Structure 1
Amino acid sequence: MGLPNSQPFNSQDGSMEGLRNGVNYGSAHATIISPISQSHSSFNQQLRQVYETFQLLQLQLRQDIAQDFIKSSMFYLSFGKDDYVDLFLRNSSGVMLKYSGQEFARILVNQMVHAIRTLYDANVRKIISTGILPLGCTPRVVWEWYNSTAIHHGTGCVEEVNELVLQYNTMLNEHIVELNLELPDAQIIFCDVYQGMMEVITNPTLYGTNPFSLFPFLRNSSLKLLPIHA
């Protein structure tokens, strides 16, 4: 996209110079719902860090300039992977016994929609929200389900897992369409990484790459603030 690399939130020194290149609030493991262990952070924790950044902007800039900075910046949201891999698929706390795949997807999407509304109320207008990549094709999931008859031998992917992911992606995309109609001057984009990855996995020779080598680049769960004004 031609944007500079954003520095991690915890490495920021509180200067405006540090904020000009953006801030990455992400972590290797983060869930949309409450974290399941101390090794996981949550979407809400990252949102609290965003508000700390907003307060810093208001302290260092005039109120109107700070609001313009926020309004003209792009916010990138990438969540959901860890909720499925570490919580739902592993049946942590018996979650698979409590919720169907559709119910679990609805819980996650409702949380995402609430977070987007909260960011909008804080004057955020430009948001990219990515869906979840085809987790049923990741080496980790395929290995854990290796003896399952759910594996589709045409692609080597666990189709049952991919169907769960598709429920979430479809539901989130539909809600984002509704949010764009409802919220004045909002520019919210759903990025469908699932379909893009499946195209590469299905036709790898057309893209000259091993599709599974791409998964490490999509493994972090993150919220990023990316200033895009000139």
Structure 2
Amino acid sequence: MAGAFRVSCLLVLFMVLITVGFGQELDPFGPQGGRRREMVPAMFIFGDSLIDNGNNNNLPSFAKANYFPYGIDFNGGPTGRFSNGYTMVDEIAQQLGLPLIPAYSEASGDQVLHGVNYASAAAGILDITGRNFVGRIPFDQQIKNFQTTLDQITGNLGADDLATAIGRSIFFVGMGSNDYLNNYLMPNYNTKNQYNGQQFADLLVQQYTRQLQTLYNLGARKFVIAGLGVMGCIPSILAQSPAGLCSEEVNQLILPFNENVKRMLNNFNANLPGAKFTFVDVHRMFQDILTNSPSYGFSVVNRGCCGIGRNRGQITCLPFQTPCINREQYIFWDAFHPTEAVNIIMGRKAFNGEQTFVYPVNIEQLANLE
């Protein structure tokens, strides 16, 4: 019964959505409000814990963040975001003039007019990734969830109008971190014995190519693809070194993936009609923040604000643990995730930054492309 009610709500809302241009004219803040005019109809988000905002809350999963002190700086408290506050896509949504995008598992009411977040902590490009955490929603299933959203509305609405709105919306995808941290580098996986670094990157991007083409075939045209960051320098990896040093092995391991993704996107831009793919160079962004941390206002670069053990990275942030007070001075929130301060910096760089960090166009330019 609840499922039928949700479907009927979606149908009604998307009829309104098409009438007004997929949320384009709806601005609950009004002309004097704190949000700029919507630059795109909606944003659909696919990824892992870096941008999950609650899809794992009701799963039988160890990968959850719906408890304090997660969300300590978020209006409303813990939501399932793996941060003290905003994620990178929260900031991007704000820059686009959109409200915060709801989680697929919790989307209701007129929230769905501006898009849906399908991201899931512990999820990977490969279905087997993250099984140590039990419940998670791999990228293939996230795409099926998006297709379910479309299937619920397409039969009752003009397909042409819907296709136009979807084609103008932003599709943000950030996948791959867990395929390394919670697959390739895990001792209970045999992956490392099956593939060297380049072979694994090739396997991942072969799968990634198919998955992104599926989204394209479902009508997506404006894609923002986030690369992998400086994963060898996160507190979880630092904690494995007696000296607390970055792992060059891990940093080198993920470089072929980023290079493969860049080639994939260049190929898509050249060969998929109407497709516009942009790459967010998270690795370069994060390296810049680490290298120039004082100029960004950060004084703590090598340990989490919340966590236990060496570099506060051996055990992640526990329920009701007291985090650091000066959170704005920390790059890392916990063993794996950046603070809100870093997420906002990266979100703004992705939105209107130069080609050093986002290319061939930034998100602002992508949103304005016809």
Counterpart CA distance in 2 for 1:207 and 1:165 is 25
Counterpart CA distance in 2 for 1:180 and 1:92 is 38
Pairing 1:71-86 to 2, within 5 Å after superposition: 71-86=167-182
Of residues 131, 139, 145 in structure 2, which corresponds to 1:49?
145
Give the superposition deviation at 1:39.
Answer: 2.6
User: 1:120 aligned to 2:216?
Assistant: yes
Counterpart CA distance in 2 for 1:195 and 1:116 is 23
Partner of 1:223: none
Runs of 4+ in 1 over 4 A off after TM superposition: 216-219
Greater RCO (Cα-Cα under 8 Å, separation 6 or more): 1
Counterpart CA distance in 1 for 2:237 and 2:119 is 22
Contact 2:122 2:182 in 1 (8 A): no
Partner of 1:26: 119
**Structure richer in strand, relative to its length:** 1
User: 1:103 aligned to 2:192?
Assistant: no
Contact 2:166 2:220 in 1 (8 A): yes
Give the superposition deviation at 1:93.
Answer: 2.5
Contact 1:5 1:22 in 2 (8 A): no
Partner of 2:331: 211
Give the superposition deviation at 1:56.
Answer: 2.3
Partner of 2:253: 164
Aligned AA (2:196):
S
Partner of 2:6: none
Aligned AA (1:215):
P
Counterpart CA distance in 1 for 2:237 and 2:102 is 30
Counterpart CA distance in 2 for 1:159 and 1:134 is 10
Deviates more, 1:208-217 or 1:22-31: 208-217
Aligned AA (1:175):
M
**Structure richer in helix, relative to its length:** 1
> CA deviation digits over 1:50-105, x for unaligned, max 9?
10111123144211111112111111001111111011111433111110011111
Counterpart CA distance in 2 for 1:122 and 1:89 is 33
Aligned AA (1:157):
C
Q: What is the percent sequence identity of the aligned residues?
A: 28
Counterpart CA distance in 2 for 1:60 and 1:133 is 42
Judged with a 3 Å threshold, the aligned counterparts in structure 2 of structure 1 residues 92 and 41 are, in CA distance, closer, same or farther, namely: farther
Judged with a 3 Å threshold, the aligned counterparts in structure 2 of structure 1 residues 47 and 181 are, in CA distance, closer, same or farther, namely: same
Rg larger for:
2
Of residues 284, 302, 308 in structure 2, which corresponds to 1:195?
284
Counterpart CA distance in 2 for 1:125 and 1:92 is 38
Give the superposition deviation at 1:204.
Answer: 0.9
> CA deviation digits over 1:99-128, x for unaligned, max 9?
001111111111111111111111210111
Deviates more, 1:38-47 or 1:55-64: 55-64
TM-score by length of 2: 0.54
Partner of 1:225: none
What do you get for the CA RMSD once the two structures are aligned? 2.2
Counterpart CA distance in 1 for 2:275 and 2:140 is 21
Q: Which runs of 5+ in 2 are unaligned?
A: 1-94, 299-329, 344-366
Q: Which runs of 5+ in 1 are unaligned?
A: 220-227
TM-score by length of 1: 0.85
Give the superposition deviation at 1:171.
Answer: 1.1
Contact 1:73 1:124 in 2 (8 A): yes
Counterpart CA distance in 2 for 1:53 and 1:18 is 14
Partner of 1:89: 185
Question: How many residues are paired up?
Answer: 212
Contact 1:35 1:41 in 2 (8 A): no
